[in-house]
Amino acid sequence: MKVELTVNGERREADVWGGESLLFTLREELALPGSKNACEQGECGSCSVLLDGTLVCACLVLTAQAEGHEIVTVEGLARDGQLHRVQEAFAETGAVQCGFCTPGLVVATAALLERRPDPSDDEIREALSGNLCRCTGYQKIFDAVRAAAAPGTS
Ligand code: FES
Ligand code: FES
Element (H, E) at 57: strand 54-57
Contact 27, 14 (CB under 8 A): no
DSSP letters, 53-103, are TEEEEGGGSBGGGGTT-EEE-GGGT-BTTBPPHHHHHHHHTT--SS-SSHH
State the pLDDT confidence band at 134, using cuts at 50, 70 and 90: very high
Protein residues whose CB sits closer than 6 Å to any atom of ligand 1? 37-40, 42-47, 57, 59
In this predicted model, what pLDDT tens digit does every residue of 5-57 receive, in sequence order? Answer: 999 999 999 999 999 999 999 999 999 999 999 999 999 999 999 999 999 99
86 Cβ closer than 6 Å to some ligand 2 atom: no
Tell me the CA–centroid distance for residue 133 and ligand 2, in Å.
Answer: 5
pLDDT value at 122 more than 90: yes
pTM over 0.85? The answer is: yes
pLDDT by residue (tens digit) across 93-111? Answer: 999 999 999 999 999 999 9
Q: How confident is the model at residue 150 (pLDDT cuts 50, 70, 90)?
A: confident
